[in-house]
Amino acid sequence: MTASDIAALTACISDPNRAITNAQIVQRLSRDFYWYSPILKRQLDDKTGELALQPIDVKEIQRILAYCYEHHVPVTTRGAGTGNYGQAVPLRGGVVLDLVHMNRIESITPDGVAVCQPNVRLGVLETTAREQGFELRCYPSTIVKASVGGFLGGGSGGIGSVSHGGLRDFETVRALEVVTMEAEPRVVFHEGQAVHDVLHAWGTNGIITRIWIALTPAVSWAQCSVAFDTFDQAFTFAEKIACDSQWIKRLVTTFEWPIPSCFAPILSITRPNKSLIFFMIAASQLIELKSAAEAAGGEVTLAADYTGLRTTPLLSDYTWNHTTLWAIKQDAAFTYLQCGFSPTEGRQQFATLKQHFGDEILFHIEFMKTGTGIVIPGSIPLVRFTTEQRLNEMIDLCRSIGVSVANPHVNNVEGGGRYREDNLQLLTKQKYDPRGLLNPGKMITFKPAAQATV
């Protein structure tokens, strides 16, 4: 970018303090948690934007995009930068569009739909919703920091998904507004099925500026931790609770030993050499759950009320991709995969992987409901990384035995999972970003308009 680009772009916003040129700050705003992957770490460590702009409204975004379109300047949108795959890391410099100031909850409707700006923190939305008798259907374990827009742009599901499916299921995202990257940027409203044009496109096909997201009635939750002698026993009990719709639950997570040994602040609720399950269960069912766990041979190591995101310990802080974080803290050689095991052949698939890879793979299971209503053992297994070739052998074996893998070691929408096979996100990019300036390099099947063949 030239000095005149920077001056002109700074003039697009009403306060020059919201245009950041300090290289260190811009680099910080160009990063996410890509370093969870040793492969992405190598690829992305030196990538940075050149200027960070922090618009406060849609008009400022439109002015920025109009200038960038005319002058061929790349734009990469940033929510809170908690993504794992370098989703928000600019590959070709340009503008980091940091939406930090667009963080207003407009309303929560009486039937439980939140209308908000993109950078409302999920934790703020959860707390506000609970005050009004609702709660999020599902959220990532990064809830405190992560933004709603970033979740739509790059996330998939998390706590709550065992009952409500992923973010893209069951019409959780009701509607959104998106700003296009054209000579005259438009604000386009997408509703119903049309939200899938934009969801999980990593900000490559428009900037989401307004969101309608469905909530669910709030539940009084409790947390429970249960230890079992073997992974098989723990998995069997966890599966029973996860798949039986009589249990009202938000979280059913199973860890193979030695994963719990990485949870330094809560070692008192782990048991050496034992597998562990963490539950969020309706408080009204806690006593029943404890009895069922003990009858199945488990030891209940924690049973306590959940009083919100400040509950200590907060078991969800050790689940979903936070598990990987605790493991990396203990041993930097750990990395991870994202898998979906079969609801019927799961045990056989575990056995095959163990037979080939032994303790190079450690099972961390997150039960989740799919869009068809079936609960499956989703998984974010830990992997002891040695070489890229070895990691790819593991991915190949998974796929050959029917275990789906959303590869977290690639930096493009198509390779990372959740890309629509009907090319919806790509077709939308061709309409909304014909020059390919939004987060360029991340949607690899895209060709700029003049070369497009679709």
Give whichever of 82 and 285 is closer to ligand FAD, judged by the CB atom: 82
Under the binding rule (CB under 6 A), the answer on residue 202 touching ligand FAD is yes
Q: Which residues pair with 108 in a beta bridge?
A: 114
As a residue count, the chain comes to 454
Measured distance CA(365)–CA(149) in Å, rounded: 26
Measured distance CA(230)–CA(213) in Å, rounded: 40
Under the binding rule (CB under 6 A), the answer on residue 26 touching ligand FAD is no
Under the binding rule (CB under 6 A), the answer on residue 321 touching ligand FAD is yes
Q: What are phi and psi of 386, to 5 degrees?
A: -120, -65
Under the binding rule (CB under 6 A), the answer on residue 250 touching ligand FAD is no
Under the binding rule (CB under 6 A), the answer on residue 325 touching ligand FAD is yes
Cα torsion angle, 83, 87, 88, 93, sign: positive
Contacts to ligand FAD from residues 406-445, by CB under 6 A: 439
- Burial code (b: 16+ CB inside 10 Å, e: under 16) for 330-354 equals eeeebbbbbbbbeeeebeebbebbb
Under the binding rule (CB under 6 A), the answer on residue 285 touching ligand FAD is no
Measured distance CA(87)–CA(202) in Å, rounded: 6
Residue 175 near residue 109, CB atoms below 8 Å: no
| Choices 129-137, 155-163, 212-220, 271-279 (CB under 6 A): range interacting with ligand FAD | 155-163
Question: Closest separation between CB of residue 413 and ligand FAD, Å?
Answer: 9
Under the binding rule (CB under 6 A), the answer on residue 154 touching ligand FAD is yes
Count, residues near ligand FAD per rule CB under 6 A = 38
Under the binding rule (CB under 6 A), the answer on residue 208 touching ligand FAD is yes
Residue 8 near residue 51, CB atoms below 8 Å: no
- Please name the helix (run of DSSP H) or strand (run of DSSP E) that holds residue 116, with its range, or none: strand 113-116
Under the binding rule (CB under 6 A), the answer on residue 146 touching ligand FAD is yes
Under the binding rule (CB under 6 A), the answer on residue 54 touching ligand FAD is no
Under the binding rule (CB under 6 A), the answer on residue 80 touching ligand FAD is yes
Measured distance CA(308)–CA(191) in Å, rounded: 31
Measured distance CA(66)–CA(183) in Å, rounded: 5
Based on its alpha-carbon atoms, the radius of gyration of the chain, rounded to whole angstroms, reads 22
Alpha-helix runs per DSSP H in 90-204: 122-131, 148-154, 161-164
Binding-site member from 34, 69, 151, 255 for ligand FAD (CB under 6 A): 151
Residue nearest ligand FAD, Cβ-based: 150
Question: Closest separation between CB of residue 337 and ligand FAD, Å?
Answer: 14
Binding-site member from 112, 157, 346, 378 for ligand FAD (CB under 6 A): 157
Q: What are phi and psi of 99, to 5 degrees?
A: -90, 20
Under the binding rule (CB under 6 A), the answer on residue 160 touching ligand FAD is no
Under the binding rule (CB under 6 A), the answer on residue 118 touching ligand FAD is yes
Give whichever of 77 and 285 is closer to ligand FAD, judged by the CB atom: 77
Binding-site member from 37, 62, 147, 163 for ligand FAD (CB under 6 A): 147
Measured distance CA(343)–CA(142) in Å, rounded: 27
Give whichever of 150 and 298 is closer to ligand FAD, judged by the CB atom: 150
Under the binding rule (CB under 6 A), the answer on residue 55 touching ligand FAD is no
Give whichever of 81 and 346 is closer to ligand FAD, judged by the CB atom: 81
Binding-site member from 203, 260, 377, 408 for ligand FAD (CB under 6 A): 203
Q: Which residues bind ligand FAD (CB under 6 A)?
A: 32-33, 76-84, 87-88, 99, 118, 140-142, 146-147, 149-151, 153-158, 202-203, 207-208, 320-322, 325, 439
